[in-house]
Each structure stands twice: as structure tokens, then as C-alpha cells.
């Protein structure tokens, strides 16, 4: 008798994105059973986009704008309610509200368009080494295992659904001050279904994995510093079709931080240099008072 094969991390993400339909315009999503104390923002982005997509036919998402209102509880399902705001001749609008414990934790406005042709231009892709020339984040962390607290090693080194290859590696615990720019090659660690909606949902998931870190670079701090961090909002624009299971360059920068908030931008390029998506996010980066010794 064959032993069932364990699911891969990317298959786990695809399962999370496969929402259960409860009734018309209402869907239910689950969270992974791991040690996270709150739901990962990229998961909610991807699930909300899938919920909206389930109510749209023949049109492609070209943008969404989302707000994180409360921390998600990973122990209970998330209900996604879709409002069919408008079905026009060329554009379709949807509003998605995510609910837990009777309260909104997140909302999203998404727009879909009938594919059409028009004028085109774009910024050039940054000139960076190819992903084959770079080590994966997992490999880089393994080399620094002695610097990772023993209690955190299993979590930090766990298999992930997205292979991330930073062009510049600043170490597990980054305490130096750097310009707020970061380039990372990203790719799903396994096949992703061909349909553009699933490709977009997985990229939405991945887009929240590293963007807020960019705002930390000028300040010599990281996630292990005395700081409270959380995504506040997140917007994406999809410019061209792409495959998230092929290498994409995620070029990130942070033009500003103020008011305990970091403002971050991302440009996603296919390997041939085509700009396929843009991302903007503001995140909380509130200093915590240092504990007295």
C-alpha cells in the first residue's frame, strides 16, 4: 500500500485559497494549523481576492485596495461576504468584507475588466543578478543558524511556499542602517494552476511577505527589535499576465516613514523585464518603550 505523500507548502497555500461556498456571495476560508497567533495578512488578501473572483466571469482583476482592520484569529474560520457593487459594460466592481467573531477584520474593493488593448509604457526592470546566481533565503539562514535563537529555529527554517532569493542579504538580525531599497527574486516552490485568478491570488499572498521590512532598513532595526509591526492597508495593480511559479523580481522601496507608519512600494517584473504588477502598502512600525533592566 502506497504511503500518502505529504503536501507541499505551496499546495497548502492553494488549499487555503480554495474557499468553501456557504451560500450565494458568502464563502468560508480556513487558516493553517501552525504556531501563528494571528492570521498572515497575505492569506486574507489571497482569500478575499478569490471570493471576489468567484462572483465574476470573463473579466480579469486589474486592481484591489484593502484595509486590515483587526488581527485575524487563526483558530476560527473567516467568512467572506461579497457585495456585487457593479457589473458594467467593461468594468466590474466588488467589495469583500472578512468577518470573524461577528466583526469585520478586513475589507477589500476590487475591480475587474474585460481584456482590451491600449497604449503601453513602463519603467525598466532594475539590473540585478539572476536568481540562479543567488542563494535562497533558507540557505542563507542555515549558514547563520548559530545566530538564530534556538527556540525560533524550527519556525524560521520551516519550508515555505515561496522561494525567496534576496539580491542583498543583510543577515538574520539586521542592525545596520541601509538605504530603503530591496530586490528579491520570488517563485512558488511548486506548480500553480494556469488560471490567471489563482496566479494573482498567490502573488497577492506572496506580496505581503517582505514589503514592510523595507521601511525598517534606514533605522537599523528588524522584527526582533522593540517594535510593534502590522500591515495597515495593501493595494495591488495587475498590468500583464504572469506565472508566479516562474521567477519574478520583487523590487521594493520605502519613500517615507512618519507617524509610526512605514510607506512601501513594490514593482513585480517577469524575468523578461515586463512589469506585471505594482504594490503599495502602509504598515504600522511603532517603537515600543525599552524595558528597564
Separation CA 12–CA 160 (nearest Å) = 10
Find residue 20's DSSP bridge partners. 28
The answer to whether 267 touches 278, Cβ cutoff 8 Å, is: yes
| β-bridge mates for residue 233, sequence order | 67, 282
Residue length of the chain: 293
**Cβ neighbours for 39, distance < 8 A, ≥ 6 positions apart:** 31, 71, 72, 73, 74, 78, 105
CA dist 247 and 223 (Å) reads: 26
Using alpha carbons only, give the angle 235, 107, 87 rounded to the nearest 5 degrees.
85
What is the 8-class DSSP label of residue 132? G
Let me know the angle formed at the C-alpha of 171 by 147 and 256, rounded to the nearest 5 degrees. Answer: 130
- Residue 192: helix, strand or coil by DSSP? coil
Greatest alpha-carbon pair distance for the chain in Å reads 65
* Closest C-alpha among 285, 273, 283 to residue 127: 273
CA separation for the pair 113, 71 (Å, rounded): 31
Catalytic annotation, residues: 208, 231, 281
Cα distances from 173 to residues 142, 144, 179, 232, in angstroms, run 13, 10, 16, 24
Amino acid at each position: 500500500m502506497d504511503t500518502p505523500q505529504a503536501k507541499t507548502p505551496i499546495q497548502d497555500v492553494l488549499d487555503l485559497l480554495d474557499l468553501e461556498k456557504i451560500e450565494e456571495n458568502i464563502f468560508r476560508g480556513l487558516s493553517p494549523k501552525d504556531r501563528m497567533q494571528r492570521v498572515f495578512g497575505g492569506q486574507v488578501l489571497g482569500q478575499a481576492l478569490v471570493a471576489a473572483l468567484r462572483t465574476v466571469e470573463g473579466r480579469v482583476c486589474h486592481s484591489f485596495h484593502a484595509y486590515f482592520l483587526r488581527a485575524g484569529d487563526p483558530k476560527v474560520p473567516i467568512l467572506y461576504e461579497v457585495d456585487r457593487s457593479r457589473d458594467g459594460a467593461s468594468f466590474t466592481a466588488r467589495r469583500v468584507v472578512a468577518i470573524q467573531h461577528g466583526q469585520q477584520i478586513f475589507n477589500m474593493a476590487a475591480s475587474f475588466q474585460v481584456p482590451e488593448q491600449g497604449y503601453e509604457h513602463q519603467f525598466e526592470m532594475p539590473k540585478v543578478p539572476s536568481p540562479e546566481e543567488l542563494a535562497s533565503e533558507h540557505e542563507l539562514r542555515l549558514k547563520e543558524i548559530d545566530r538564530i535563537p534556538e527556540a525560533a529555529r524550527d519556525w524560521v527554517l520551516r519550508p515555505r511556499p515561496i522561494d525567496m532569493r534576496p539580491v542583498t542579504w543583510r543577515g538574520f538580525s539586521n542592525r545596520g542602517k541601509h538605504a530603503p531599497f530591496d530586490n528579491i527574486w520570488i517563485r512558488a516552490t511548486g506548480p500553480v494552476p494556469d488560471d490567471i485568478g489563482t496566479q494573482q491570488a498567490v502573488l497577492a499572498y506572496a506580496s505581503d511577505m517582505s514589503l514592510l521590512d523595507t521601511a525598517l532598513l534606514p533605522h537599523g532595526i528588524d522584527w526582533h527589535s522593540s517594535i510593534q509591526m502590522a500591515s495597515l492597508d495593501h493595494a495591488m495593480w495587475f498590468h500583464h499576465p504572469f506565472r508566479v511559479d516562474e521567477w519574478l523580481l520583487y523590487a521594493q522601496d520605502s519613500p517615507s516613514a512618519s507617524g509610526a507608519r512605514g510607506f512601501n512600494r513594490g514593482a513585480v517584473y517577469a524575468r523578461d523585464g515586463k512589469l506585471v504588477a505594482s504594490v503599495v502598502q502602509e504598515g504600522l512600525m511603532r517603537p515600543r518603550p525599552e524595558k528597564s533592566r
